[in-house]
Amino acid sequence: MGNKFENILGTVGNTPIVKIGKLAPAGINLYVKIEAFNPMGSVKDRLALGIIEEAEKSGALKPGQTVIEATSGNTGIGLAMVCAQKGYPLVVTMAASFSVERRKLMRFLGAKVVLTPATAKGTGMVAKAKELADANGWFLTRQFENEANPDMHSRTTAREIINDFEGEKLDYWVTGYGTGGTLKGVARVLAAEKPETKVVVCEPEDAALLSSGTAQERNSDQTPASSHPSFKPHPMQGWTPDFIPKLTGDAVDTDVIDRILTISGAEAIRCSQDLAKSEGIFVGISAGATFAGALKMCEDAPAGSTILCMLPDTGERYLSTPLFADVPTEMTEDEEKISLSTPGFHNEAV
């Protein structure tokens, strides 16, 4: 791949796979695929481009038509980039519980952001997007059920993984799920071309919709699962909306998932912090959660196993969240001591 592009959209995908050194247990080859290298910092850039280009090709999206989607932020940010470059107005609906950085980023890129009540969770923002699309004749991207989402991952993410592990074994592929697009799109390619690779899916301990059996109870209209005893609020933004997305359900139905792991919010935050401080890899809470799942797999995997873990987004999406709660803005006591520990130092211009 060259480094000269017609526009920003050519830079989506082809994200690096990086080996983990200090945090990986001895005898395990642990790798991460860092989706923060996408132009807007998350894996959702892929689905945004895939859905818009498929809609253009099919004629479902007309020139100048307004695009609308419900999003926890990353899909909206990706769509804002794509729509800005291609010239489509964009409206996103987003639950008020998601971090303020996300709405500012979307607005900076020219999108309009309609907030829905935090109490209505993911179901509320999806319903509002559909209501606005129907009322105004806007193009609803339907990220949770649109087949262009997993198709994009089959064409890009999966192919990158297959190519990067060509001639090598890959024992486990670890991912979370939001829409289920990455899960469905990659898992079906691995099943066909690298069937020895076991697919491991992570979900929040406080919203364990797959491992609790809620996935089997779903129906086609995305009935909220938030009343289910297994669903509580959690810090992994973009992971596990309060319903089972159709694309995730498809992956469950096709039996491509080998193991489901539940991850606590505290584990996710700790692993994100550990990746930053020990490996220099800066990612968000959902990436920390996926990495926590990969470390759990390391405990059970036979010696010599190779594990690849998806890291879906950058840590900059989380400045106002608990991930940064203990990071001070003023100098700490240790920093004050450093500042005062330079006798004889003259502050001269260099």
**CB distance 178 to 48 below 8 Å:** no
Which carries the bigger pLDDT value, residue 50 or residue 221? 50
Among 306, 274, 290, smallest CA distance to 22 is for 274
Of 33, 44, 128, 296, which residue is the catalytic one?
44
Among 72, 84, 1, smallest CA distance to 42 is for 72
Please provide the size of the chain in residues. 350
Is 112 designated active site? Answer: no
Flag whether pLDDT at 225 surpasses 60: no
The pLDDT > 90 percentage for the chain reads: 69
Is 99 designated active site? Answer: no
Interval 65-104: pLDDT, tens: 999 999 888 999 999 999 999 999 999 999 888 778 889 9
pLDDT on residue 213: 64
**CB distance 277 to 271 below 8 Å:** no
* 8-37+153-324 and 44-140 in the same fold: yes
The overall average pLDDT reported for the chain is 89
Flag whether pLDDT at 23 surpasses 70: yes
- Phi/psi for 336 (5° steps) reads -60, -40
CATH architecture, domain defined by 44-140: 3-Layer(aba) Sandwich (3.40)
Min mean pLDDT across 33-37, 123-127, 266-270 is at: 123-127
Fold of the domain built from segment(s) 8-37+153-324: Rossmann fold (3.40.50)
**CB distance 234 to 240 below 8 Å:** yes
Interval 319-349: pLDDT, tens: 888 888 889 989 999 999 999 987 665 555 4
219: pLDDT confidence band, cut at 50, 70 and 90? very low
User: Distance from CA of residue 60 to its chain's centroid?
Assistant: 26
Which carries the bigger pLDDT value, residue 143 or residue 346? 143
Interval 32-47: pLDDT, tens: 999 999 999 999 999 9
Six-digit token pair at 291? Answer: 């990495």
How far apart are the C-alpha atoms of 5 and 39, rounded to whole Å? Answer: 13
pLDDT on residue 54: 98
pLDDT on residue 252: 82
Can you spell out the DSSP letters for 281-299? --B-HHHHHHHHHHHHHHH
pLDDT on residue 244: 79
Interval 183-216: pLDDT, tens: 999 999 999 999 999 999 998 887 677 876 655 4
Of 99, 212, 226, 286, which residue is the catalytic one?
286
Interval 235-247: pLDDT, tens: 566 666 567 778 8
Give bridge partners of residue 306 from the DSSP assignment.
Answer: 29
Delimit the domains of the chain by residue range. Answer: 8-37+153-324, 44-140
